[in-house]
Amino acid sequence: MCQFWFCGLSGDCRVTNAVRCLPPQNKPEPAEVRQCNQYLVAELAALPLGAVVLALGAIAHLAVMRALGLQIKDYKFTHGVRHALPNDIMLYDSYHCSRYNTQTKRLNEAMFHAIFSAIVQYLHSLDLNNSFDPNNRV
């Protein structure tokens, strides 16, 4: 667990990996992703309702789909897309911030910041919705 502060929003966050190793050529084999998926299943199960997950790259996106038992065809990885998952998790997709992706300009700083801004905006909207709930006793 870590503490974060971003754009005026602060709170708790969890950081985890789809694969817990540094594979050759930095590309994990499908068997490695499957082997490590049990840890991701546990991480996702521990999230509170309404949690946000940021998948950094297609491998992470696919690992989340597998961990939650969801059909990959129903949730295509696309940079900048938000997926409302049936288990009350909001999944955001971003290209991985690897050296390759940044040097080839597949992902630039503005694109990466835009993902976090979208997450912050979404989380703020949840806070606003909760503040107007008459059953919300703060």
Domain boundaries, the chain: 2-21+28-131
Q: What is the pLDDT of residues 60-117, one digit of tens each?
A: 999 999 999 999 999 999 999 999 998 889 999 999 988 889 999 999 999 999 998 8
Q: Residues, the chain, total?
A: 138
DSSP state, residue 13: E
- Angle of the 58-67 helix axis to the 30-45 helix axis, nearest 10: 60
Percent of the chain scoring above 90 in pLDDT? 43
User: Residue 21 — very low, low, confident or very high, per pLDDT cuts 50/70/90?
Assistant: low
> Phi, psi (5° rounding) for residue 4?
-135, 160
Q: What is the pLDDT of residue 22?
A: 66
Determine whether domain 2-21+28-131 maps to CATH 3.40.50.720.
no
User: Residue 138 — very low, low, confident or very high, per pLDDT cuts 50/70/90?
Assistant: very low
Average pLDDT for 115-138:
68
